[in-house]
Homo-oligomer: A and B are copies of this chain.
Amino acid sequence: MPVITLTTDFGTADAYVGVMKGVILRFAPHVTLVDISHEVPPQDVPTAAFLIYQAELFFPADTVHVVVVDPGVGSERRALAVRTSTGMFVAPDNGVLTHVLTHSTDYAAYSLTRPEYWLPNPSATFHGRDIFAPVAARLAGGMPISRLGEPIDDPIYLPIPTPEFRAPDVIVAHVLHIDRFGNLILDIQAEQLPAAPMFELAGCRIRGLRRTYTEGVPGELIAYIGSTRQHIEVALPGGHAARHIGAQVGTPVYIRSDPMSEA
């Protein structure tokens, strides 16, 4: 029972996601299908890149993750199948796998050039259905990834934010993602923090790390080690941090050792 996950910007009002699943089930009737998200904002490749990075580590390693946020569909952009140590990925070559590849110790990538494994007469506007779905089904069914096309070593990477370590002891981190609760997920991970960190963002200051939401004072921002790969998060217990302080993806967060800390 291999698993195929789907991450798209198709929304769930239209039939497009269901259609992809129909194609997958024609070629691989025994797979288990899991939706990661179909509410990626239209054509927002960075958000999709974050979501699949957040999710993939928790799935069995023979899972096939299909990611279709594809503004260049029908153009000359390549289509990819990628195998890492933690999963397999089928996606357009537009940077949507940037976080996955950056955090993978090793990978093998192939350009999908073998139309005999696609639907016949693929459309120019719906490769999710005509190329990615049937290819994912073949992979889930055990087809070696190398049969799907030519190996490549230059997949496209997005210019993603990373923390800047500025002398003497200032780190400039950034908001990488804002979730449904308004929590800010930063581009810095726990092991990169100074002892007794102090955070400043959007005119607000946060001292130290909390362990849970319930340790905070309602109405005051807290920082804590989040649930996604030790990334630091900022939340407003009982509220929506992003709206409260006007933070957006990319907002800088200045981090220093807290001079008032006794630690």
Partner of A18, one of B19, B35, B227: B35
A17 vs B38: C-alpha distance when bound (angstroms) = 12
Q: In the assembly, what is the distance between CA of A212 and CA of B23, in Å?
A: 22
Residues from chain B with a CB closer than 8 A to the CB of A105 are: none
Q: Which residue of B lies closest to A227 (CB)?
A: B126
Interface size on A, residues (CB 8 A): 66
Contact B55–A22 (Cβ < 8 Å): yes
In the complex, whether A154 has a CB less than 8 A from a CB of chain B is no
Query: Which residue of chain B lies nearest to A53 when distances are taken between CB atoms in the complex?
Result: B15
Picked from B1, B23, B33, B54, the residue with its CB within 8 Å of the CB of A58 is: B23
A18–B36 touching, CB < 8 Å: yes
A211 within 8 A of B: yes
Flag if B29 contacts A1 (CB, 8 Å). Answer: yes
Closest Cβ of chain B to A11, distance in Å, is 4
A13 within 8 A of B: yes
Cβ distance A143 to chain B, nearest Cβ, rounded Å: 19
Mark each residue of chain A from 45 to 73: 1 if its CB lies under 8 Å from any CB of chain B, else 0: 00000011011101110010000000111
Interface residues of A (CB under 8 A from B): 1, 3, 5, 7, 10-19, 21-23, 25-26, 29-30, 32-40, 42-43, 51-52, 54-56, 58-60, 63, 71-75, 123-126, 129-130, 179-181, 211-215, 224-227, 233, 238
